[in-house]
Amino acid sequence: MSKRVNQQPLVYFDNGATTQKPQSVIDAQSDFYCSSNANVHRATHQLASVATTKFEQARVQVQKFINATQTKEIIWTKGCTEGINLVAQSWGKSHLNPKDVIVLSYAEHHANIVPWQIIAEQTGAEIKVLPLSSQGIISKEVLTHIISERTKIVCVNHVSNVIGKVNPIESVITRAKEVGAKTLIDGAQAIANIIVDVQALDCDFYVFSAHKMYGPTGIGVLYGKEEILNAMPPYQSGGEMINKVSFSGTSFQSLPYKFEAGTPNIAGVIAFAKAIEFISQYQLNDRHEYKQELLEYAFKRLQTIPSIEFIVEGKPDIPLFSFTLKYHYQDVASYLDLSGVAARVGGHCAMPLFEYIGIKGCIRLSLAPYNTYDEIDFVVDKLTALVSKTDEIIQRNNVNENDN
Ligand code: PMP
């Protein structure tokens, strides 16, 4: 990357927060505004027809990308957060009753906690939380105990944004089915890193955001099984989502439009299609292997930093590393920033996880296929120098104090 930050070449290790965008995505977004900007679905003029075709083609691409059975199961949202809110408010409000149970895990992002807390408050449902193993993934042993006949929905991440490991969601889904509960999988961190097949998983809902998979911000997907989406009331209402409006009564569009009120993020959807092309290419070729090699290399090199402590045992499944050093993570972040390194530190929108682990926060480095071995070496050397130099200064001060 040619960009410089603090007079240093940028090392972008914050891909878990959002990825950088390939030129094809940037071009698709600006081309749309330059040459085919029009609203979708409404008008019969040529420009609107082109925009609508591209917009709906993108839906087909997403459908194929996650192997959904039909395009009507692909609902455009603003992102993961909106997808979860949609399910919580629409499915939750119409299905949850007092004493029903919503099951989450301790490793959820706030986006997969707070919407459930709000709907639990509104309906009288209760929230139960799945504990984690020392490896930081959902413990399979407790599934039968926590997911019980009272459970109505289980909402867990495929890969946590702090732990970076694939959860045993197949076992979670199997157990949920045994008790007739629905499942929602938060795929925010998984979607750019592992192949997702919603039919094979047989989950009821799967949510993700385009911006974490090389696409634009402000656009994402809620996948839902057709019969479940059909039985859900609209989430938001207005134009686009209606069939007929009159003061004697209004009827709604069929799927997926029933859940897409108002003018959508058309440019975002069209550019997202380019991100899917980009990601589909590298998931099937040697770029994917390269990413795995980067993961192995980074894990090995990071372990050489004095005082490093990974927040859970074992190697992550995606190139995302969370650890502490003996300095406050905020100080480490400022030091890295001065060296041109973009890292994320703090509670990572997962406060309950940090409470569960018993620490306040951590440093997270998350990599993508455009990162390099040299960048890993650079960051490891910087962190090693930080720890070693500070140790040296402390030792020198101790000697001076003793001399006095
Ligand atoms: N879940 C997880 C695991 C995430 O990492 C994130 C984003 N950090 C979200 C949900 C929310 O995604 P968005 O902000 O794109 O809606």
Q: Name the residue with higher pLDDT: 3 or 361.
A: 361
Q: What is the pLDDT of residues 315-353, one digit of tens each?
A: 999 999 999 999 899 999 999 999 999 999 999 999 999
Question: Stretch 273-286: mean pLDDT, rounded?
Answer: 85
Query: At residue 295, does pLDDT exceed 70?
Result: yes
Query: At residue 92, does pLDDT exceed 90?
Result: yes
Q: Give start and end residues of each alpha helix (H) in 23-168.
A: 23-35, 46-65, 80-86, 93-95, 114-123, 143-146
218 CA to middle of ligand 1, Å? Answer: 12
Active site (annotated) includes residue 362: no
109 CA to middle of ligand 1, Å? Answer: 7
Chain-centre distance for alpha carbon 115: 16
Question: Stretch 210-227: mean pLDDT, rounded?
Answer: 98
| Token pair belonging to 144 | 């039968």
Mean pLDDT over the full length of the chain: 94
46 CA to middle of ligand 1, Å? Answer: 37
Q: Of 34, 80, 155, 349, which one is the catalytic site residue?
A: 349
Query: At residue 248, does pLDDT exceed 90?
Result: yes
Q: Which pLDDT does position 404 carry in this prediction?
A: 55
Number of H helices, E strands in the chain: 14, 17
Mutate to test the pocket of ligand 1, among 18, 161, 184, 205 (most ligand atoms within 8 A of CB): 161
Question: Stretch 47-74: mean pLDDT, rounded?
Answer: 97
Instruction: Return the ligand 1 atom nearest residue 217 CA.
Output: 15
Mutate to test the pocket of ligand 1, among 105, 169, 189, 193 (most ligand atoms within 8 A of CB): 189
Question: Stretch 17-39: mean pLDDT, rounded?
Answer: 96
Query: At residue 396, does pLDDT exceed 90?
Result: no
Q: Which residues contact 91 (CB under 8 A, 6 or more apart)?
A: 153, 182, 205, 228, 232
Do you know the residue count of the chain?
Answer: 404
In 3D space, the residue among 355, 325, 316 whose CA is nearest the CA of residue 343 turns out to be 325
48 CA to middle of ligand 1, Å? Answer: 32
Instruction: Return the ligand 1 atom nearest residue 82 CA.
Output: 16
Q: Which residues contact 189 (CB under 8 A, 6 or more apart)?
A: 16, 157, 158, 159, 160, 161, 164, 212, 318, 320
Instruction: Return the ligand 1 atom nearest residue 186 CA.
Output: 1
Query: At residue 3, does pLDDT exceed 90?
Result: no
Parallel, antiparallel or unpaired: strands 101-105 and 126-130: parallel
81 CA to middle of ligand 1, Å? Answer: 6
Neighbours of 7 (CB within 10 A): 7
Q: Which pLDDT does position 392 carry in this prediction?
A: 66
Helical axes 266-283 vs 286-302, angle rounded to 10°: 80
Q: Which pLDDT does position 324 carry in this prediction?
A: 96
DSSP class of residue 87 equals I
Q: Which residues contact 13 (CB under 8 A, 6 or more apart)?
A: 341, 342, 343, 365, 366, 367, 371, 375, 379
Q: Which pLDDT does position 4 carry in this prediction?
A: 85
Q: What is the pLDDT of residues 369-386, one digit of tens each?
A: 999 999 999 999 999 999
Residues lining ligand 1, Cβ inside 6 A: 79-81, 109, 111-112, 157, 161, 186, 188-189, 209, 349
Give the Cα separation of 39 and 33 in Å (integer). Answer: 11
Query: At residue 306, does pLDDT exceed 60?
Result: yes
Percent of the chain past pLDDT 90, that is, above it, reads: 88
164 CA to middle of ligand 1, Å? Answer: 13
Q: What predicted TM-score, i.e. pTM, was given to this entire model?
A: 0.95
Query: At residue 262, does pLDDT exceed 70?
Result: yes
Give the Cα separation of 116 and 112 in Å (integer). Answer: 7
Instruction: Return the ligand 1 atom nearest residue 220 CA.
Output: 15
| Token pair belonging to 47 | 């420009």
Percent of the chain past pLDDT 70, that is, above it, reads: 96
The C-alpha angle 22, 24, 25, rounded to 5 degrees, equals 70
Q: Which pLDDT does position 397 carry in this prediction?
A: 67
In 3D space, the residue among 300, 363, 319, 311 whose CA is nearest the CA of residue 337 turns out to be 363
Mutate to test the pocket of ligand 1, among 80, 163, 317 (most ligand atoms within 8 A of CB): 80
Mutate to test the pocket of ligand 1, among 78, 82, 109 (most ligand atoms within 8 A of CB): 109
Atom 4 of ligand 1, residue of closest alpha carbon: 188
Atom 12 of ligand 1, residue of closest alpha carbon: 80
Atom 8 of ligand 1, residue of closest alpha carbon: 17
Which secondary-structure segment (H or E) carries 245?
A: strand 242-246
Q: Which of 46-50, 137-141, 286-290 has the lowest mean pLDDT?
A: 286-290
| Token pair belonging to 129 | 């939380």
| Token pair belonging to 53 | 């075709």
286 CA to middle of ligand 1, Å? Answer: 27
Give the Cα separation of 322 and 332 in Å (integer). Answer: 13
Q: Which pLDDT does position 394 carry in this prediction?
A: 61
The C-alpha angle 24, 29, 31, rounded to 5 degrees, equals 90
Cβ(163)–Cβ(136) below 8 Å: yes
